[in-house]
Every structure is written in C-alpha cells, then in structure tokens.
Amino acid sequence: MNTDEDELVYENMPDEPPEEEPPPAPQTAIQPVINTALIAPQVVNPDALPDLEAAEPGISLNPKYREFNDEGETVRAVFCGFTTMQSQNQEKQIPVAIFQTRTEVFVNAGANLVQQVKSLKPQTPVQITYTGKEKTKSGNYVKTFDVRLLVFGAKPGNGGAPKGGNPQTADKLRWLEFCRKNGVQEEHIRQALGTVHVSDWLRGNSKRTLEQAEKLVLEATRPF
C-alpha cells in the first residue's frame, strides 16, 4: 500500500508557465510616392480660380450602364469615345461606347451600337434608337440600333444659317471633314469666301448655308 497518500505526481508538466506571446507590432502603412514634378505645373494661383463655392454641381462623371429594353426607345446624346470593360465570362476586355446627355454620362457595350459609332469623332451628336433583337448565324440574339447624326442649323425654308451665323458642333465637324476629304487649303477658302472662317461668311448673310460654302470652295479648288 502506498503510504504517500498526500504526494501528488505531475507528469509532463513544464517547470514554469508559458510566457504570453507579445501582440504583433502594428504594420506601418506604405506611403505612396508622389511625383510632385508632374503636379506643380498644373497648380495655379488660387486667386485665378473661379468662385467654386458659388457654382452648382453638374452631372456626375461616374458613368452608368444604360440598358435599352423597349423597342423604339430613343435618346439623343453626344458620343464621347470609348473605354473597356470585362466581358461577362471575365475572359477578355470588350469595347464600350461612352455618351453624354444634359443630365448624365452613360455607356453601352452592345456590339451593334459600338460598331456603328466606332468611326465617329468624340463630341459628335447622335440619336440612338433601339430597334429590337436580331438572331445571329450562331443562334444568339443581339440588340440592334438605328444611329443617326444630328444636324444643326439649316432647314429648308428657314433661311439657312443657324442663329447668329455660327455653325453648331455638327456643322463644324462636317466642315472639317469636308476640308479634309477634298484637300481644301486656307487659300481656297479665302479665295471662295473672302475669309478663312466659314462662320464669318455665314454671319454676313442669314440666307447663306453651309452647302453653298462647300460648293463655292470646291469650285475654288477645281477652277478648270
């Protein structure tokens, strides 16, 4: 019989209690390295800034994806260019067209719409009408659109030139494209219109039109 009844035996016990592990040291945030040489030229004298507090906030620059769901749905906007987004299967980047109205900036990645506006220059006004879905050869359906350029200014019977004689954005784009396609030089414009600025020529007579200006300039470039 064991007479050491009061003796307790501890097996596999450490001689001293374990020390508590110190808490991990807080990580120091990595400060971004900013190239101030690129910022400084963009900073202006505060006195040269407009009264920012008196201004009203305009449209948000955060674009929304606009879905066209109802046939005949129409919107007028200015084409602003392209960006990209990931496709639904996340496998590739696809082109997305950007548009701006008076109240919002929106994007759309519809293949038919993107294809129609890919040759346009930014700031081109357009009218977009959703015309429904069309079945492709592979059996898929794509949304189709009717995209039309918006022409400002002259209408038959209203005197021709825009108010004030200044071509609007679409007219300016049309004039630049006309000059580019026909190799028009300043000397041709001056010879035909008496000025190198078509807006000045239009302003001189409310009945003048951009079509008349184009005809006169073409005759100047091809005198024989």
CATH 2.40.50 domain extents, the chain = 61-149
User: Does the domain at residues 61-149 carry the CATH identifier 1.20.120?
Assistant: no
Residue type, 46: P
As a whole number of angstroms, the distance between CA 202 and CA 193 comes to: 9
What pLDDT shows up at residue 44?
A: 82
Question: Is the distance from CB of 209 to CB of 154 less than 8 angstroms?
Answer: yes
Name the DSSP letter for residue 206. Answer: T
As a whole number of angstroms, the distance between CA 120 and CA 151 comes to: 14
Residue type, 221: T
- The pTM of the full predicted model, rounded to 2 decimals, is 0.52
What pLDDT shows up at residue 113?
A: 96
As a whole number of angstroms, the distance between CA 165 and CA 160 comes to: 9
Which residues are 105's β-sheet partners? 100
What pLDDT shows up at residue 166?
A: 41
Q: Which residue is listed with tokens 């003048």?
A: 208
Question: Is the distance from CB of 153 to CB of 198 less than 8 angstroms?
Answer: no
Count other C-beta atoms under 10 Å from residue 205's C-beta: 13
What pLDDT shows up at residue 207?
A: 84
Name the DSSP letter for residue 16. Answer: S
Could you read off the pLDDT tens digit of each residue along the chain, which spans 224 residues? 555 555 555 455 555 555 666 666 666 666 667 777 777 777 888 888 889 999 999 889 899 999 999 999 999 999 999 999 987 776 789 999 999 999 999 999 999 999 999 999 999 999 999 999 998 888 889 999 999 999 887 554 444 444 433 445 667 788 888 888 888 888 888 888 888 788 888 888 888 888 898 988 888 887 65
Widest CA span in the chain: 137
Number of H helices, E strands in the chain: 6, 6
What pLDDT shows up at residue 11?
A: 53
CB-side neighbour CA atoms (13 Å) of 90: 0
Which run of H or of E encompasses 170? helix 169-181
What pLDDT shows up at residue 203?
A: 81
Counting every residue, how long is the chain? Answer: 224
As a whole number of angstroms, the distance between CA 96 and CA 106 comes to: 10
